[in-house]
Homo-oligomer: A and B are copies of this chain.
């Protein structure tokens, strides 16, 4: 097996820098669009054969060093009892946002096999079909990020309702986070038992918090989740988006790998994280619109700046954009492999 990714996660020597792309299975690929044109988004997530199919597409097309389960971070929220819909205009819409005790009480801690068995079945298919070509990453939203969707009822600009609950009713907010943390741990544990060889926690909205609130209110749940997952023998990746202001807190989460977005300089991030964990990131997804020479320049810059880290997994600093020219994504992977081998 190509275990370069797993080695880099554990801080072991590798022949080159492994690379995968957040949202590597997705709309920028015509092969994905072909599958998606026949089913709606949620059906795609819930049909193991199709979810496995689109998970595999970028492995062949891009030559990346890891596969990541195709799914949506809101899947466990639906399993907790909320109505989930995807609107082309408004993005995800969750019915009846949770803003009081009755709402929190109503949320259930689901059995993963019963309510999200399709995710586990997708993983089982993938492990067979990958037949150890590259490792498979499972994932979940981090507890706080899932809480924002549950409270806002979808995406948000200012996350006012989330912060309102956090400031006005810290007890209720804590109870909600505790419940979600339990779900997250169980969900990722089930993914690992089904065959996921690494797991990533996406804290997509961590960056809208003050360092004060992130450290005192949110971070304890991150640590709890990471600690529970560490009892399995697979690397845990924690990605906090827009992390520049909280990276010195983030690095203490106990994860094997810290994912960083593009708004932080890789050298500064590496210095902050030190040898506590490997680092993943952090090319601006928009750099994939640049001419190839410029992509090469930017990849080289990040590789240089990641020198001396415990381990480096190259990635974008956020999900690849649907408008990205696929040939540039292919070129980027080739560039990472070529330039890092030279070392």
1/0 per residue A305-342: CB within 8 Å of B?
00000000000010001010000000000000000000
Interface hub of A209, A265, A301, A321 (most chain B Cβ within 10 A): A265
Q: How far is the CB of A315 from chain B (nearest CB, A)?
A: 14
- Cβ of A65 < 8 Å from any Cβ of B? no
- Cβ of A286 < 8 Å from any Cβ of B? yes
Whether A163 pairs with B263 at a CB distance below 8 angstroms is no
B-contacting 9-mer, from A19-27, A92-100, A227-235, A287-295? A287-295
Set B212, B242, B265: member contacting A242, Cβ < 8 A:
B242
For A163, the chain B residues whose CB sits under 8 A away are 284, 286-287, 289
Known contacts A244-B245, A244-B263; 4 further A-B pairs (Cβ under 8 A) = A208-B263, A209-B263, A209-B284, A212-B265
Near B by CB (< 8 A), chain A positions 189-210 give: 207-210
- Cβ of A73 < 8 Å from any Cβ of B? no
Q: How many residues in A have their beta carbons less than 8 Å from beta carbons of B? A: 36
* Total copies of the chain: 2
For A160, the chain B residues whose CB sits under 8 A away are 286, 289, 321, 323
| CB-based closest 7 A-B pairs | A244-B245, A167-B290, A244-B244, A163-B286, A245-B264, A211-B265, A245-B263
- Cβ of A149 < 8 Å from any Cβ of B? no
- Cβ of A298 < 8 Å from any Cβ of B? yes
Whether A210 pairs with B168 at a CB distance below 8 angstroms is no
Whether A159 pairs with B286 at a CB distance below 8 angstroms is yes
17 contacts between A and B (CB under 8 A): A160-B286, A163-B284, A163-B286, A164-B286, A164-B289, A167-B290, A168-B291, A207-B242, A209-B263, A211-B264, A211-B268, A212-B298, A213-B284, A244-B245, A244-B264, A245-B263, A245-B268
Whether B210 pairs with A158 at a CB distance below 8 angstroms is no
Whether B158 pairs with A207 at a CB distance below 8 angstroms is no
- Cβ of A262 < 8 Å from any Cβ of B? yes
Set B158, B208, B211: member contacting A321, Cβ < 8 A:
B158
For A262, the chain B residues whose CB sits under 8 A away are 210
Near B by CB (< 8 A), chain A positions 113-171 give: 158-160, 163-164, 167-168
Are A265 and B290 also in contact (CB < 8 A) when A160-B323, A210-B284, A301-B212 are?
A: no
For A291, the chain B residues whose CB sits under 8 A away are 167-168
Whether B212 pairs with A167 at a CB distance below 8 angstroms is no
Whether A167 pairs with B245 at a CB distance below 8 angstroms is no
1/0 per residue A221-264: CB within 8 Å of B?
00000000000000000000010111000000000000000111
A323 to B209, CA, bound (A): 19
Whether B245 pairs with A286 at a CB distance below 8 angstroms is no
Set B158, B211, B294, B301: member contacting A263, Cβ < 8 A:
B211
Q: How far is the CB of A91 from chain B (nearest CB, A)?
A: 10
For A290, the chain B residues whose CB sits under 8 A away are 167-168
For A264, the chain B residues whose CB sits under 8 A away are 211, 244-245
For A213, the chain B residues whose CB sits under 8 A away are 284
Q: How far is the CB of A142 from chain B (nearest CB, A)?
A: 17
A210 to B260, CA, bound (A): 12
Shortest Cβ distance from A264 into B: residue: B245
Q: How far is the CB of A87 from chain B (nearest CB, A)?
A: 15
